[in-house]
């Protein structure tokens, strides 16, 4: 019989820190690590299983025989099992076979800290270390200014499996192929960031990656971990930041996963009112257990540290904040103060954000959070949760509802568009048009629009123009940029063939130029989270469905005047008030022919009049295109 040798990576490990939930680099100790002990090469294994009676490593190196390689439990009461197995090397596959002291229950589990997993539907862990040499020193050095809250931040959200398929072989593109095709595309489209829907290993394709089993392993669907690093590196080479979707809110109950790990409720809360998610049929982490907090925060740090991610978009934050989230009366229990807030989860979120920003001050955490919970993106010292940004779901719902209406009725609903400015500066908001809006019968973005084909695309161009000139950062899901007409299908590919048609070419050209416009015009980003960066000219012209406003930068000369005509009726000689006298030049027009607009309504030689209008001393007459946005600056 083979044996594990006594060896420990935990010699400089503060067990008390782990037990207190304050050890945030657990991946350096747990999992499998290829090391040399007394001149013998092999692999060291460590797993946390406090309810175990015995733990064996089973794998292709011992014919999956239980008891061949038993781990030793540490003497310190930590519940950590460890051991060194000679001659186990990179590429060997394994699981932990755990006999529980709870009724001798036997579980066979993948390694929670595995750096690589088998390709689904296989479920074992893979011994792995890569020697990737990063080439992004320049990006990492300058990241602070590219990733800051007062810098342009426009995100292309991508599902790697369905962005584009290799057609002849009907397969995913690999990380290496994406490092060429996707990187060049995002760069050409002038986005500042890309966001990947979860790339951590997941067993079930229809979950889109939101049901994770391998928290420390990039999915093997597209290649090896070092090839994923190469993809990140290539984005950084082009000056593009990489955001990762991160899911600390729930996990699936697959047999090989974290659920009932050592024959006890180790990772999930034992009370189903806190430990089971009815909507997603999944388990919820026990945020009150210190070691679980350490596991999750270590995981957040891992992707920033080992994979050079530039931010984490944290999924389903609302489901973590409230004990009654999606639960009826009697299905939840109040907190100790009689409220509905999940206090332990809130503490975990604050600890996570505090550690992320302490270790990586130049990244961003972004909350997908849909409630009116206060101060989500405010500092912890100010009573906030400490996120860098929060998705502005209210803006998204109101805007899509407005644009779905026939223009003739819009005069009765202008408040839907202006309402967002009442609360736009209460948080650091990101404006999201995400994957959630183009599935389950909600239709593609362009298909939500009324009218014939020209009007649909005119509305699409107008809505994107509003989005890019509205305060806040931007997020657009793949396919939206060229007006994909079918709903997103995670099993297929985007409909790239549509780009042979002018309407789709025009939409793509518009998004490309809006990104460039946003990056160039300081007034659109320098104060994007401050009320100092926005001033209405007129939000009250309901009858004509026209809105006008000023976006302001640090310098008055950078200010941009924006006018939106929300109907298909062009307006000649439309007057707006101006903050001062002078000559104006048109700097953007969403109705240009290159965007498949009419191209007939341009503004040249604009001089202000000393005529009072909209409560301002000066004014100017403009020509407004149908379903168009025009933007101006003083010469």
3-state DSSP assignment of residue 312: strand
Which of 344, 368, 369, 437 is flagged as catalytic? 368
Rg (C-alpha) for the chain, rounded Å, is 27
Helical packing angle, 225-237 and 137-146, nearest 10°: 60
Q: Is 369 a catalytic residue?
A: no
Is-contact 517 524, C-beta < 8 A?
A: yes
HSE at residue 136, side-chain half, CA atoms within 13 A, is 25
Q: Residue 337 is encoded by which pair of tokens?
A: 């103060």
> Is 347 an annotated catalytic residue?
no
What b-and-e string marks burial along 222-261, b requiring 16 or more CB atoms within 10 Å of the CB? bbbbbbbbbbbbbbbeeebbbbbbbbbbbbbebebbbbbb
Mind giving me the DSSP string for 350-383? HHHHHHHHHH-TT-EEEE---S--TTTTS-GGGT
Check 82, 111, 262, 315 and give the catalytic one: 315
Q: How far is CA 600 from CA 429, 465, 597, 608, in A?
A: 35, 18, 8, 22
Task: Compute the distance between CA of residue 68 and CA of residue 60 in angstroms, rounded to an integer.
Answer: 12
- The phi and psi torsions of 499 (rounded to 5 degrees) equal -70, 0
Q: Per residue, what are the HEC states of 461-522?
A: HHHHHHHHHCCCEEEEECCHHHCCCCCCCCCCCCCHHHHHCHHHHHHHHHHHHHHHHHHHCH
Instruction: Catalogue the E-assigned strands of 221-292.
Output: 241-246, 276-277, 282-283
List, by residue number, the catalytic residues: 315, 368
């Amino acid at each position: 019989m083979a044996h594990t040798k006594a060896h420990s990576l935990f010699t400089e490990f503060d067990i008390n820190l782990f037990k207190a939930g304050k050890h945030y680099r657990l991946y350096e100790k747990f999992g499998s690590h290829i090391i040399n002990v007394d001149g013998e090469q092999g692999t060291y294994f460590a797993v946390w299983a406090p309810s175990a009676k015995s733990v064996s490593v089973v794998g292709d190196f011992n014919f999956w025989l239980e008891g061949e390689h038993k781990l030793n439990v540490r003497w310190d009461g930590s519940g950590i099992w460890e051991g060194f197995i000679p001659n186990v090397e990179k590429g060997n596959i394994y699981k932990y076979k755990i006999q529980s002291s709870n009724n001798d229950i036997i579980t066979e589990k993948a390694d929670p800290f595995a750096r690589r997993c088998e390709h689904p539907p296989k479920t074992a862990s893979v011994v792995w270390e890569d020697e990737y040499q990063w080439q992004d020193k320049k990006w990492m050095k300058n990241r602070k200014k590219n990733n800051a809250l007062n810098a342009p931040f426009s995100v292309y959200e991508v599902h790697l499996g369905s962005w584009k398929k290799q057609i002849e072989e009907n397969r995913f593109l690999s990380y290496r192929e994406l490092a060429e095709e996707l990187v060049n595309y995002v760069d050409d489209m002038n986005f500042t960031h890309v966001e990947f829907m979860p790339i951590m290993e997941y067993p079930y394709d229809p979950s889109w990656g939101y049901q994770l089993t391998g928290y420390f392993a990039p999915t093997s669907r597209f290649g090896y971990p070092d090839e994923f690093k190469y993809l990140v590196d290539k984005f950084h080479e082009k000056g593009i930041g990489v955001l990762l979707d991160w899911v600390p809110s729930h996990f699936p109950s697959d047999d090989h996963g974290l659920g009932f790990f050592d024959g006890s409720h180790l990772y999930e809360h034992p009370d189903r009112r806190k430990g089971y998610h009815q909507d997603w049929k999944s388990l919820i982490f026990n945020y009150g257990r210190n070691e679980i907090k350490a596991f999750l925060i270590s995981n957040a740090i891992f992707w920033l540290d080992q994979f050079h991610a530039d931010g984490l978009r944290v999924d389903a934050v609302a489901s973590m904040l409230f004990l009654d989230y999606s639960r009826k009366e009697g299905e939840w229990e109040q907190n100790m103060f009689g409220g509905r807030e999940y206090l332990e989860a809130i503490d975990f979120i604050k600890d996570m954000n505090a550690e992320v920003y302490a270790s990586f001050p130049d990244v961003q955490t972004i909350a997908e959070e849909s409630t009116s919970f206060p101060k989500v993106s405010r500092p912890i010292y100010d009573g906030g949760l400490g996120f860098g940004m929060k998705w502005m779901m209210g803006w998204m719902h109101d805007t899509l509802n407005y644009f779905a209406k026939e223009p003739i009725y819009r005069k009765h609903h202008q408040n839907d568009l202006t309402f967002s400015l009442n609360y736009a500066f209460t948080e650091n908001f990101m404006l999201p048009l995400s994957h959630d809006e183009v599935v389950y019968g909600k239709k593609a973005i362009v298909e939500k629009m009324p009218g014939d084909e020209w009007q649909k695309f005119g509305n699409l161009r107008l809505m994107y123009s509003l989005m890019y000139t509205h305060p806040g950062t931007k997020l657009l899901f793949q396919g939206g940029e060229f007006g994909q007409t079918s709903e997103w299908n995670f099993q297929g590919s985007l409909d790239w063939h549509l780009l042979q048609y002018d309407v789709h070419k025009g939409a793509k050209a518009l998004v490309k130029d809006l990104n460039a416009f946003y990056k160039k015009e300081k007034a659109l980003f320098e104060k994007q989270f401050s009320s100092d960066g926005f001033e209405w000219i007129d939000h009250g012209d309901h009858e004509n469905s026209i809105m006008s406003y000023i976006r302001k930068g640090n310098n008055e000369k950078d200010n941009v005047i924006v006018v939106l005509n929300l109907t298909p009726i062009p307006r000649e000689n439309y007057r707006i008030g101006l903050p001062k006298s002078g000559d104006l030049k048109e700097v953007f027009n969403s109705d240009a022919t290159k965007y498949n607009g009419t191209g007939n309504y341009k503004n040249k030689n604009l001089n202000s009049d000393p005529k009072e209008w909209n409560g301002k001393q000066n004014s100017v007459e403009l020509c407004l295109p149908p379903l168009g946005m025009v933007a101006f600056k003083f010469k």
